[in-house]
């Protein structure tokens, strides 16, 4: 991997704070989450090389491997997941 970025927060803490209110549509609750668990970069930075994102405890929470999943495969997976609902 080329680089590794690290969050200022723990993924375990983030998961512990998720509740049924974390629907992505509860603006007040989502705002609290965003304040407590901010993005790594503001404004957003786009990576073009392989990289990882780790939480402050060293847990890998994201691997970015360019071209590892084709667009066709990604769409096929999304359609499959949505059809299960």
Structural domain tally of the chain?
Answer: 1
Give the separation between CA 48 and CA 74, rounded to whole angstroms. 18
Give the separation between CA 17 and CA 39, rounded to whole angstroms. 16
Q: What range does the domain containing 26 cover?
A: 3-83
pLDDT tens digits, residue range 11-62? 999 999 988 777 888 889 889 999 999 998 888 888 888 999 999 999 999 9
pTM for this entry: 0.68
pLDDT band at 2 (very low <50, low <70, confident <90, very high): low
How many residues are given for the chain?
85
Which of 54-58, 76-80, 81-85 is most confident? 54-58
- How are strands ordered across the β-sheet holding 60-64? 3-6, 51-54, 60-64
């Amino acid at each position: 991997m080329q680089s590794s970025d690290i969050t200022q927060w723990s993924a375990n803490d983030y998961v512990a704070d998720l509740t049924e209110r974390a629907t992505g549509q509860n603006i007040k609750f989502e705002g609290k989450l965003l304040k407590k668990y901010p993005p790594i970069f503001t404004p957003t930075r786009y990576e073009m090389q392989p990289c990882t994102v780790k939480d402050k405890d060293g847990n890998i929470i994201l691997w970015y491997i360019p071209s590892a999943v084709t667009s066709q495969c990604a769409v096929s997976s999304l359609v499959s997941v949505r059809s299960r609902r």
